[in-house]
Amino acid sequence: MTDRMDGVRVLIYSHDTFGLGHLRRCRTIAHALVEKYKGLSVLILSGSPIIGSFDFRARVDFVRIPGVIKLYNGEYTSLGMHLDLSQTMAIRASIIRHTAEQFAPDLFIVDKEPLGLRGELQETLSMLQEQDTTLVLGLRDILDEPTLLRREWKSRNLLPALDNIYDEIWVYGHEAFWDPLADMDVPLTIRRKMTYTGYLRRTVPQPTKLLPAVDIDTPYLLVTAGGGGDGDQLMDWVLRAYETSTDLTRSVMVLGPFMPTERQAEVRERASKLDKVDVLTFDSHLEILMENATGVVAMGGYNTFCEILSLDKPALIMPRVAPRQEQLVRAKRANELGVARMFDPLDETTIESFVDALRALPAQSKPSTTMPTGFLDGIEKVGRLAGRHFHPTLDSRLSIVETRG
């Protein structure tokens, strides 16, 4: 069903300092909103240097703010400009504020960072709050390991923002899987604002350009490192497995656009000596490659996890463990629920055990065999949650479960 929302404007903030996760999640939400509501427009604020590589639907556009990259040690630095970080942050904050002022959104959705990167949203949030704009904080299923998250949020004093600034908090996950604010002393006033939407279901898009020159008809395992900035370990383990064994299912490795050039060259050099390994740098339509795969080997970022669930693919996850442990927590929980298998190189140290896991992957159970009800309802629920702010009759059609502390 499509409703008319003529003139309604939604602004989405995606700080984008590492990888593709925030941008891809925000793009998915933007596309879902314009598909559901005719006349509604969405503008995405993003710091991603490759946002222009993605296709956007009509009535979705973006403003590219200067890039900031998160280093492996957790620190930040300017990307692409020889400026002090403080100067870059000042430019970003100014662009964000003026964009919001001119765009005048009815709804502002902030992805993950309550006050923006290093507080760059504070002026904008105050301005929009005075204008009675609906302010929503969107949180992925897992932010970090609870002890680390509690320490970080306490040092940055973030809980008051959830209490005093935001009207609603949407958790893009399922309550049976994880509480993103687990083990934190969260007031009841904040808990009442939280709604679990379910994971954001992905569909396979119609390609708008030719697919990469790779055979998708012969069975293969898809190996994806997401953005690729920290995909070295995964790619090395996969290459060692194929260097060790000749009876594995063919693999298609997607390195990711942020894998360093020299590392890409090393992977391609090793893969060129293997008959069953194809290598791609990046493809924005990863869903097409995943749909045709017999299994997926990944690091377990949020968006890849959503795609694995949506396309119902057997998955082997080797998570990143630093600077955040989000992927590690997600992989462990997915393994416990049986929706994916986790491979921990710290525990399973032999290449033989990894080869065995790859060999067994095509016959592994699919996620749908153990997923709880409503696990993938996120797109539909986000649409209804957004729509009720512009269309009062939607309130009566929306059934949500609030979590109360």
The reply to whether 188 and 246 lie within a common domain is no
Distance CA 141, CA 361 (A): 25
- Please report the pLDDT score of residue 238 as a whole number: 97
With bands split at pLDDT 50, 70 and 90, how would you rate the model's confidence at 18? low
- Please report the pLDDT score of residue 67 as a whole number: 85
Which of 230, 208, 137, 194 lies closest to 400, judged by CA?
Answer: 194
**Residue 280 tokens, joined:** 């791609």
The reply to whether 322 and 386 lie within a common domain is no
Phi, psi at 175, each rounded to 5°:
-60, -25
Question: 28 in a domain, yes or no?
Answer: yes
Tokens 């934190």, residue located = 184
Distance CA 61, CA 11 (A): 10
Which of 204, 136, 218, 146 lies closest to 180, judged by CA?
Answer: 146
The reply to whether 185 and 320 lie within a common domain is no
The reply to whether 339 and 385 lie within a common domain is no
H or E stretch at 137: strand 134-140
Cα 106–Cα 158–Cα 46 angle in degrees, nearest 5? 50
226 close to 256: Cβ distance less than 8 angstroms: yes
The reply to whether 97 and 129 lie within a common domain is yes
Query: Residue 11 sits in a domain of what CATH number?
Result: 3.40.50.2000
With bands split at pLDDT 50, 70 and 90, how would you rate the model's confidence at 50? confident
With bands split at pLDDT 50, 70 and 90, how would you rate the model's confidence at 17? low
The reply to whether 162 and 228 lie within a common domain is no
Domain count for the chain, please give it. 2
**pLDDT above 70 covers what percent of the chain?**
91
Question: 36 in a domain, yes or no?
Answer: yes
Q: What is the DSSP letter of 144?
A: S
The reply to whether 140 and 241 lie within a common domain is no
Over residues 338-349, mean pLDDT = 87
33 close to 58: Cβ distance less than 8 angstroms: no
Least confident of 41-45, 200-204, 206-210: 206-210
**Residue 70 tokens, joined:** 């998160």
323 cis-preceded (ω within 30 degrees of 0): yes
- Please report the pLDDT score of residue 392 as a whole number: 55
- How do residues 215-262 score in pLDDT, each as one tens digit? 888 999 999 998 888 889 999 999 999 999 999 999 999 998 889 899
What is the end-to-end Cα distance of the chain in Å, rounded? 34
Interhelix angle 232-244/261-271, rounded to 10 degrees, is: 10
The reply to whether 58 and 83 lie within a common domain is yes
Question: 261 in a domain, yes or no?
Answer: yes
Question: 403 in a domain, yes or no?
Answer: no
Which domain does 298 fall in, by range? 221-369
Over residues 260-288, mean pLDDT = 91
Which of 19, 12, 18, 381 lies closest to 201, judged by CA?
Answer: 381
The reply to whether 45 and 163 lie within a common domain is yes
- Please report the pLDDT score of residue 328 as a whole number: 94
User: Which amino acid appears at position 262 of this protein?
Assistant: E
Distance CA 80, CA 64 (A): 13
User: Which amino acid appears at position 175 of this protein?
Assistant: E
Question: 214 in a domain, yes or no?
Answer: no
Question: 404 in a domain, yes or no?
Answer: no
Question: 208 in a domain, yes or no?
Answer: no
With bands split at pLDDT 50, 70 and 90, how would you rate the model's confidence at 400? very low
Question: 405 in a domain, yes or no?
Answer: no
Residues 264-272: contacts with CB within 8 Å, 24+ apart?
A: 267/235, 267/239, 270/239, 270/243, 271/239
The reply to whether 160 and 232 lie within a common domain is no
- Please report the pLDDT score of residue 212 as a whole number: 56
158 close to 183: Cβ distance less than 8 angstroms: no
9: three-class secondary structure by DSSP: strand
The reply to whether 226 and 272 lie within a common domain is yes
The reply to whether 13 and 150 lie within a common domain is yes
